[in-house]
Structure 1
């Protein structure tokens, strides 16, 4: 019987390759935003620590809490979402897929959108607040908070996600398409809302809220802010997905929009982030005049005129019709000296006077300069030096 002669190519079949990337890359779940060089360094450091290293077995997709990284290139829905929103080419599909994974679906911070959403929330708050304050410098604080809620509040962001065509997954998992929003739904019958004891207010049960306390203790919308978890209380280990609480569809959709804003800023830079903000947020029409709610407009108008040194406002009838009929109409104007501050109509003299006072107050608070420039415009290349904008004394404090 002849002895078999092993050829040179037989060594590649009988023994595995010694290249670290070819041995571990298909089996290890790597972060989507990590570079290939960093992956090789991590693998080499891992092999240096353990002389005898055995590659872990490949986990099936059904056992993963979220889709693997390579699934982003296989999703047609993800590519359609990228093209539909006109996202920059610098934003990879892997990061876009990461923005669709909520922390309730995958508690691992390397694969969920929690960090991107934190950055996106700060950017949205900054761009929105500077636009409102520079465009309408006399707005009361409550109206500013209501306008910010209308622009970047959770309900508005959730509606934007639906308009973008983002689908919601029934349940998170590795076998789910990477182009759908994945989150753990709230269990039926559970209470939804913020616990008063988990807020930053020292005495949350006492109903006392002022403008200054709202700025200090509340969030950008004037709602009670969540209490920050101290670093010592954070468990360094990844929590069990079964113990993570679920979220509502509205909260998960809003988190996705915030994470997408942060991802655009990280990958494409500041100009692309501001362009994305203008196209998708500031382009939405908002009638700020409907956000006002006055309790005693005539008294507020009198105090405003006294503060600004104007003559005391006086209500005068401009015209009327049908005084003795069932439906009379009165047109009343508010005058300060020879200047007419506002005009209103009503079925009675008191109603017309109140509406005229409201119109005068809205005309004062909705003042807007002709040329509006925000502070973030100075960050652009070749921008002109910053010129201070108009700063008002503030609302009338009673």
Structure 2
């Protein structure tokens, strides 16, 4: 009943990404909501009649059955729930995926956050936030939805009539445009920003309605899986489709003063010896393609090593590699396996806590 807009601003400074957001509530007029007073949330009532798609009708949709089989969903996952997860249209009389989307978003936030916090406990929080967005952001879920083979129901009623398309096919497609919008003729190459798109601008770009719809559908499918099968199957599904994706954390760091940050990090860790950057090896100093190998040492301990075409480049790379080896550290349990997350069975806290970000 309450729609909100999240405004985010990302900026990079000293290798971190700052995030700023605020929430602007507004009434969704399409739901025809009535209330006594706007602050009395208990009096809110929607006057739009909706009903669930019968399972017998959903079984006659080839695209819906194919999507169910493609995702290897269990038999407990009803086709009517899967069709509901693909429906964002509140004007067609069928229940939409608002509740499933909210549930799926919360599940994704929990499992993705605990995965990153346990696997990379020393990850700076700004980089952690970017990593979370890279795993479950709109763009990522948009691409995942396309990989799953979800198609958009973009044809008009006239096109369906002329092509003699079965009415059951649309139940297996993503539905987020109203019939009035589908019938509008727009100039090729021109995209008109909706009110929602104009409010979600990020660095001169915007999240399209299609990307938001795909992301909502993916989250709703996960929420529907939880309602039918429980936590274990949902967690495995998220691990297979979300957490298994390669995350380029190295590319998210940007150090403007790496040597100074490494010095502050050594002081924070109470290292007794001072930081020293030494030249380990070199070859071809007088040639056109010289190679130098430098190392960052704290006493006799080598913290990082770097290779470059000049001494300065090799030393800088050694310092950056030392910082990356610290921030991207992944702990192991007593048996040498990857540390368990709190949602695992027989989880035992083993003191894996980061020391916080380094201020320079």
**TM-score (structure 2 length as normaliser):** 0.72
For residue 352 of structure 2, give the secondary structure of its aligned residue in structure 1: coil
* More off after superposition, 286-295 vs 261-270: 286-295
Unaligned runs of 5+ in 2: 1-48, 161-166, 334-338
CA distance in 1, matches of 2:343, 2:93: 30
Residues 24-54 of structure 1 show CA distances to partners (whole Å, capped at 9, x for unaligned) of xxxxx76328xxxxxxxxxxxxxxxxxxxxx
CA contact (8 A) 1:158 1:251 kept: yes
CA contact (8 A) 2:341 2:347 kept: no
For residue 280 of structure 2, give the secondary structure of its aligned residue in structure 1: strand
Residues 264-288 of structure 1 show CA distances to partners (whole Å, capped at 9, x for unaligned) of 1111111111111112112222232
Matched with 2:213 is 252
For residue 342 of structure 1, give the secondary structure of its aligned residue in structure 2: strand
Matched with 1:191 is 193
Superposition deviation, residue 294 in structure 1 = 1.4
Matched with 2:310 is 348
Matched with 2:148 is 164
Query: Superposed, which structure 2 residues align to 1:317-396 within 5 Å?
Result: 317-371=279-333, 372-377=339-344, 383-384=345-346, 386-396=348-358
For residue 318 of structure 1, give the secondary structure of its aligned residue in structure 2: strand
Superposition deviation, residue 291 in structure 1 = 2.4
CA contact (8 A) 1:30 1:69 kept: no
Superposition deviation, residue 388 in structure 1 = 4.8
Matched with 1:39 is none
* More off after superposition, 302-311 vs 70-79: 70-79
CA distance in 2, matches of 1:133, 1:107: 41
Matched with 1:231 is none
Say if 2:264 is the partner of 1:303: yes
Q: What do you get for the CA RMSD once the two structures are aligned?
A: 2.9
CA distance in 2, matches of 1:394, 1:108: 50
Classify 1:342/1:106 alpha carbon distance in 2 versus 1 (closer, same or farther; 3 Å): same
For residue 375 of structure 1, give the secondary structure of its aligned residue in structure 2: coil
CA contact (8 A) 2:55 2:79 kept: no
Matched with 1:265 is 226
Superposition deviation, residue 195 in structure 1 = 8.0
Matched with 1:182 is 175
Q: Which of 230, 248, 251 is matched with 1:290 structurally?
A: 251
For residue 171 of structure 2, give the secondary structure of its aligned residue in structure 1: coil
Classify 1:248/1:30 alpha carbon distance in 2 versus 1 (closer, same or farther; 3 Å): closer
CA distance in 2, matches of 1:385, 1:170: 47
Say if 2:61 is the partner of 1:75: yes
Aligned residues: 285
Residues 308-344 of structure 1 show CA distances to partners (whole Å, capped at 9, x for unaligned) of 1112211111111222222221111111011111011
Structure richer in strand, relative to its length: 2
Say if 2:127 is the partner of 1:143: yes
CA contact (8 A) 1:334 1:343 kept: yes
**TM-score (structure 1 length as normaliser):** 0.65
